[in-house]
Amino acid sequence: MFTEIDTVTLDDPAADRPALKPWREKTRTRGKSVNSANGNRETRTEWVSHVRRIRDAQDQAAFAELFQHFAPRIKAFLIKSGSDAALAEECAQEVMATLWHKAHMFDPTRATVATWVFTIARNKRIDVLRKQRRPEPEDLGWGPEAEPEQDDVVALQQETAQLRDAMAALPAAQRELIEKAYFGDLSHREIASQTGLPLGTIKSRIRLALDRLRHAMN
Amino acid sequence: MSTEIKHHLTDDLLMAYAAGTLPEAFDLMVATHLSLCDHCRARAESFEAVGGCVLQEQDGTANMSDGSLAATMALIAKGAPIAKPVRAGCSVLPAPLQDYVGGDVNSIKWRSIGMGVKQAILPTTSEATARLLFIPAGAAVPDHSHNGMELTMVLQGAFSDEVDHFARGDVEIADEDLHHMPTADFSEDCICLAVTDAPLKFTKMMPRLFQPFLRI
C-alpha cells in the first residue's frame, strides 16, 4: 500500500532556508483570494481573535463560540481514542477550561487554534487515559514578547489550510492511517515519512518564529 | 543554540511524540532533545499541525451534554491550576529532565555499575526505561547490543563509537543490529540520557550476569 510516494523531507536541516523566500511571496499574493473564496477558511483564522478576546477581556461570548465548535470535536477525538462518553465529556470541559486559562500562551505564529486545542486534548488524554506524565520541551514563551506580526500569523494559518487540503486529497486508506495514528491505535513507523504531506513549509515558518523568540530572549 | 547538533530524531519518533502515543521514557527523550534543538522542535510542531487537522476534520463530532458550557464556566471560575515553577535555563540538564531529577546534575542520585560508569534510572512508566549515564572521560561502556530500540543523547562531554562522534544534543539511535562500545572523549566526563524499550544485551559474560541486578 505504501510505495515510494515522496515525502516530507523534514529531516534535512539544509531544506530550511531555501524553501522560505519563494514560498513567502506566493502566499502574499494568495492572501486575498483565500479569504473571499473560502468562508470556512476565513472562519478558522478568526479563531485567533477569539482567543485574544479571552486573553484580553475574559470575553465569555468568544469562549462560547469556541466551545460550540471545539468541545464536540475534542469529545469525539477522546472517544475515538478509547474513552467512554462520560469521561470524554468531562475531559472536553477540562480542555476548554485550560484553553481559557492559557489563552495568554497561545502563539498564532506557530500554531492554529485547532492545533493548539489538539495539543491540550492530547495532553489530557495522556494524563487521564494513559495515566502518564507528559514531559514538554523547555518553554520559550516567556520574557518580553512583542505582539506577533499579523503577516506571520496569516502565513502560518494559510499554510496549515494547505496542509488540510493536502490531507483531504489523500487516498482514503492513507488518510485513515494518519487519523488512527493520532487517535492512538496504530504504530507510526512508515506513516510519517511516506504520506507526502507538505509539512516542510510549515516547519520553516515555525522555525522562523522560534528563531525570533530566541533572538528576543538574548 | 542548536546549530551544532548533527544527529537528530526521526520523523516517526517526532510524529508519535506529537500524537502523544510514545511510552513516557521516549517522551522524556524527545522533550529533552527539543529543548536543545529548534530544528526538531519545528518538525515536531508541524506534526502537531497534522493533529490539529485531524481534530478539526474528523468524521462526526460528539454532542456535548446540556449545560456543559455552564459547567465549564464553573470550572474556569475555580481558577487556573498552579503553574509549575520555571526551571533555570542554560544548565546541563534541560528543564524536562530537571523535572524528573528534581534539580540539575548535582541532584542526580548515581549508582555505580562498574569501571567508573554510573547510572541513575528515572521514574517513568515501565513500558520503556530512561536513565542517565555517567561515563568518565576516556572510559568506555561495555560492548553491548539491544533487543529493541535504544536512544542515547549527550548532555555533557561527548562520546564516539563505531558509528560516529556525538556531542551535546546529538542523539544516537541504535537498534538490534548495532553492537557498539561508546567511549567518552578524554576532555570531559560524559553524561547521557539513554532510553530503551527493552533490556540491553551485553556481549561479555560478566555484565550479562549482573544485568538483572543492575537493571541496565
| Backbone φ and ψ of A70, nearest 5° | -90, -35
- Residue B9 C-alpha cell reads as 530524531
Query: Is B205 a residue whose pLDDT tops 50?
Result: no
Element counts in chain B: helices (H) and strands (E): 6, 11
Nearest-Cα distance to chain A for B178, in Å, is 19
Q: How far apart are CA A141 and CA A105, in angstroms?
A: 7
Question: Would residue B146 be called left, alpha or beta, if left means φ above 0 and alpha means ψ between -120 and 50 degrees?
Answer: beta
Range of the structural domain that residue B105 is part of: 1-56+90-215
b/e map B165-187, b = 16+ CB within 10 Å: ebbbbbbbbbeeeeebebbbbee
| Mean pLDDT of the residues in chain B | 85
Number of domains into which chain B is organized:
1
Task: With respect to residue A160, please indicate whether it lies within any of the assigned structural domains.
Answer: no
Q: In this predicted structure, what is the pLDDT of residue B113? A: 85
Give mean pLDDT, residues A70-74: 97
Task: With respect to residue B79, please indicate whether it lies within any of the assigned structural domains.
Answer: no
Q: Which CATH number is A74's domain given?
A: 1.10.1740.10
Q: How far apart are CA B84 and CA A89, in angstroms?
A: 26
Residues of A within 8 A of B4 (CB-CB) are: none
* Tens-place pLDDT, residues A124-141: 999 988 888 999 998 876
Task: With respect to residue A2, please indicate whether it lies within any of the assigned structural domains.
Answer: no
Task: With respect to residue B67, please indicate whether it lies within any of the assigned structural domains.
Answer: no
Preferred mutation among B46, B104, B149, B173 to probe A, highest tally of A CBs within 10 A: B46
Residues of A within 8 A of B23 (CB-CB) are: 132
Residue B162's nearest CA partner among B130, B194, B192, B140 is B140
Smallest Cβ–Cβ distance between A118 and the set B15, B41, B55 belongs to B55
Interchain contact, A111 vs B38, CB within 8 Å = no
Preferred mutation among A133, A159, A187, A193 to probe B, highest tally of B CBs within 10 A: A133
Q: How far apart are CA B153 and CA B137, in angstroms?
A: 16
Nearest-Cα distance to chain B for A4, in Å, is 16
Task: With respect to residue B7, please indicate whether it lies within any of the assigned structural domains.
Answer: yes
Preferred mutation among A206, A211, A212, A213 to probe B, highest tally of B CBs within 10 A: A206
Residue B40's nearest CA partner among B169, B163, B173 is B169
Task: With respect to residue B188, please indicate whether it lies within any of the assigned structural domains.
Answer: yes
Query: Is A215 a residue whose pLDDT tops 80?
Result: no
Give mean pLDDT, residues A177-198: 69
Nearest-Cα distance to chain A for B92, in Å, is 13
Residue B142's nearest CA partner among B209, B73, B49 is B209
Smallest Cβ–Cβ distance between A118 and the set B23, B52, B69 belongs to B52
Q: How far apart are CA A72 and CA A76, in angstroms?
A: 6
Report the length, in residues, of chain B.
216
Interchain contact, A89 vs B65, CB within 8 Å = yes
Nearest-Cα distance to chain B for A208, in Å, is 9
| DSSP 3-state of B60 | coil
Q: In this predicted structure, what is the pLDDT of residue A151? A: 87
Query: Is B3 a residue whose pLDDT tops 60?
Result: no
Q: In this predicted structure, what is the pLDDT of residue B12? A: 84
A138 with B95: CB under 8 angstroms?
A: yes
Q: Which CATH number is B116's domain given?
A: 2.60.120.10
A121 with A95: CB under 8 angstroms?
A: yes
Range of the structural domain that residue A83 is part of: 42-121
* Tens-place pLDDT, residues B106-155: 999 999 988 889 999 999 988 889 999 999 999 988 766 667 788 999 99
Task: With respect to residue B31, please indicate whether it lies within any of the assigned structural domains.
Answer: yes
Complete DSSP assignment for A113-156: HHHHHHHHHHHHHHHHTS------PPP---SS-PPPPHHHHHHH
- Least-confidence region, from A155-169, B76-90, B97-111: B76-90
Alpha carbon A2 to its chain's center:
25
Q: How far apart are CA B31 and CA A123, in angstroms?
A: 13
Residues of B within 8 A of A174 (CB-CB) are: none
Q: How far apart are CA B122 and CA B119, in angstroms?
A: 10
Task: With respect to residue B195, please indicate whether it lies within any of the assigned structural domains.
Answer: yes
What's the predicted TM-score (pTM) here?
A: 0.83
B24 with A43: CB under 8 angstroms?
A: no
Nearest-Cα distance to chain B for A134, in Å, is 7
Number of domains into which chain A is organized:
1
Task: With respect to residue A113, please indicate whether it lies within any of the assigned structural domains.
Answer: yes
